[in-house]
Structure 1
Amino acid sequence: MSEETPDIRMPDPSKLMVSNSPHMRDKPTIDKIMLTVVAAMLPACIAAVLFFGLAALKVLVISTVSCILAEEGWNKLMKRPSTWRDGSAILSGILLGMNLNAGSPWWICVLGGLLAMILGKQLYGGLGYNPFNPVLVARVGLLIGFPGIMTTWHKPELGRMVIDGVTAATPLGLAPGETVLQDMILGNVGGCLGETSALALLIGGGILIWKKLIKWEVPLAFIGTVFVITGMMHLVNPEQYHSPFVHILSGGLLLGAFFMATDMVTSPMTHKGAWIFGLGCGLITSLIRLWGSYPEGVSFAILFMNALVPLIDRGTVRKPFGYVAPAKGEA
């Protein structure tokens, strides 16, 4: 270039991600989205503390701090900028705590944070690159490694600030007919912190749908599929199989359907793909619950469908605006 010509530097094309036109700009940022999801989790967190006391609060705090420290420690090791302020590590920590029981020892929370942030997220490149939900990677890893701890449930008691160590079966572990739907709706049942109050989870899920942060097709297809399949088996043999309402209100179904299967990174981008994803999660969950060796199948179902998301997106993507199909034989 001559001295009179300004030095015009074009941006690096490898760093530009430009989709097909038309383009839309929206105000929400990553940190605002994450904080909104955290706010939607608050009703379920409050219900967990009310029923399980300070032990639940301890699990939630240690899990959250562990996820933040694990992510920041990895960033320091890899000489990357700090990322905890975007809120994703905070949300992962809360979700991890909601996937643990009130009696979980502190080291389980710490190990879960390491598995979620490093094995489930940072090894793939960080936020936006992980193919699997980090929290579910941690939950399944802990379940396989420490099944005794991960399947020991404590008896809740509303208003008490401590747990007495008495264990109780989850509704799915009881015989058909022994469950009380009212207790399951409010949260007075054994299970993980996020598997108790169905009402609190529905409130949180409603907030996410209202704010348009999740595709409503995913939880609807997920929950609806479980309801239909378990309902049919209940009609065939009600003495052996639980009512479909028990399946919906118990276990991690509502937590998984609203807060984990709808993860923006690991769920399909298309609305048609969301239906397929939700149907697959519901089908696998039902198969594991009804005939599998594990009483709960939500985590395994979502992780399995996470692996199929690229194929689902490829098969359901819509043609770009103005697309013209090439003629036959044309390269």
Structure 2
Amino acid sequence: MEQKYNVSSNPHVRDGMTTSRIMQLVVIALLPATLFGIWNFGFRAFLVVAVTVASSVIFEWLYDHFMHKPNTVKDFSAVVTGLLLALNMPAQIPLWMPVLGSAFSIIVVKQLFGGLGQNFMNPALAGRCFLMISFAGRMTDFAVSDHFRGVVDTVTGATPLAALKTQGFVEGTSVPVQNLFFGNIQGTIGETSALAILIGAVILLVFKVIDLKIPLTYIGSFSVFVIIYMLCTGMGFDVNYLLSHLFGGGLMLGAWFMATDYVTTPITFKGQLVYGCCLGVVTAVFRLFGGSAEGVSYAIIFCNLLVPLIEKATYPAAFGKGGKKS
């Protein structure tokens, strides 16, 4: 055999989808929620989004520059981190706080652990939790815009989840489902409209950026837990109460856009199902029994830390191993 073949290292089959392309699609998918938040809360929301995204990109560039690393700004991961962080903040937050949150997300959580692909938890959620712990009052100063009734002024108040938490459940007092679905409620910039979030989720599914395993197991296990809670507490099944928990708060945004982060989720099929169930149960426990009305952000970063254990427990045995010896 005179002809020689040059065999390169694996992988031998590559997908045409690049990291920058994936991140660009995520940005496009987040546009419905972003634009609705800007329309709903006004120019102040636009400023928060612009400042957070810009500061995330700047911190990424500065770190790469001073650490003499290749510039990674063009992969759009910093844009996604900044946009997700902005959508998880109230519109009335002082503008220096998004800058501080961006610095924590990009420098501490992402870059100090090796950059994209090495972070141990979702950077945007880590930044949000950092701000929540440091400035709880400012991070829970929510507003709702009365565009739906022709009034542009914003009115501060409790979110639907906070109302359920403080007032307890009384039949007929939960927020109307149409307000939860279309976005006429208090909350952060990007979490109020379930419809806008679901439009973005469809974009991710159509372009195969994500699949249904983690979001559906997350939402499904959470729903089952809430239903069991209603039945065990003598509340009885009430669909409005369930939908208030599903659409009121960050569950939809977290399930479709942050729980599906490639870096911080298991790679095994069974692991993703276990991960989704853990997210649903932990979120329900935090919401129903914890001191906070929310729980999505803390649940996701807590389960991010469990991913190595989940992968170890669900990793399939190598071919030819684990069988019975004859």
Please give the alpha-carbon distance, in whole angstroms, between the structure 1 residues aligned to 2:151 and 2:19.
36
In the TM superposition, residue 243 of structure 1 has moved relative to its aligned partner by 1.3
2:264 — aligned with what?
A: 266
Please give the alpha-carbon distance, in whole angstroms, between the structure 1 residues aligned to 2:324 and 2:190.
54
Q: 1:125 aligns with which of 108, 114, 126?
A: 114
1:62 — aligned with what?
A: 51
Contact 2:222 2:281 in 1 (8 A): yes
Q: 2:75 aligns with which of 73, 86, 108?
A: 86
1:7 — aligned with what?
A: none
- Runs of 5+ unmatched residues, structure 1: 1-9
Whether 1:231 and 2:227 are equivalent positions in the alignment is: yes
Range moving further from structure 2, 140-149 or 159-168: 159-168
Whether 1:190 and 2:186 are equivalent positions in the alignment is: yes
Q: TM-score, normalised by structure 2?
A: 0.89
Contact 1:226 1:247 in 2 (8 A): no
Q: Structure 1 vs Structure 2: percent identity of aligned residues?
A: 40
Contact 1:226 1:244 in 2 (8 A): no
* CA displacement 1:296-318 (0-9 Å, x = unmatched): 11111111111111121222223
Contact 1:67 1:92 in 2 (8 A): yes
- Runs of 5+ unmatched residues, structure 2: 1-6
Whether 1:51 and 2:40 are equivalent positions in the alignment is: yes
Please state whether the residue corresponding to 1:73 is helix, strand or coil.
helix
2:3 — aligned with what?
A: none
Please state whether the residue corresponding to 1:34 is helix, strand or coil.
helix
Please give the alpha-carbon distance, in whole angstroms, between the structure 2 residues aligned to 1:184 and 1:83.
38
2:304 — aligned with what?
A: 306
RMSD across aligned C-alpha pairs, in angstroms?
Answer: 2.4
Please give the alpha-carbon distance, in whole angstroms, between the structure 1 residues aligned to 2:323 and 2:184.
64
1:3 — aligned with what?
A: none
1:277 — aligned with what?
A: 275
Contact 1:230 1:244 in 2 (8 A): yes
Distance change (3 Å), C-alpha of 1:193 and 1:239: farther
Please state whether the residue corresponding to 1:166 is helix, strand or coil.
strand
Distance change (3 Å), C-alpha of 1:295 and 1:240: farther
Contact 1:267 1:306 in 2 (8 A): yes
Q: How many equivalent pairs are there? A: 310
2:246 — aligned with what?
A: 248
Whether 1:212 and 2:208 are equivalent positions in the alignment is: yes
In the TM superposition, residue 327 of structure 1 has moved relative to its aligned partner by 8.4
In the TM superposition, residue 24 of structure 1 has moved relative to its aligned partner by 2.6
Contact 2:145 2:151 in 1 (8 A): no
One-letter amino acid of the counterpart of residue 238, structure 1 = M
Range moving further from structure 2, 53-62 or 226-235: 226-235
* CA displacement 1:83-126 (0-9 Å, x = unmatched): 11101001111101100011011101101110110111001010
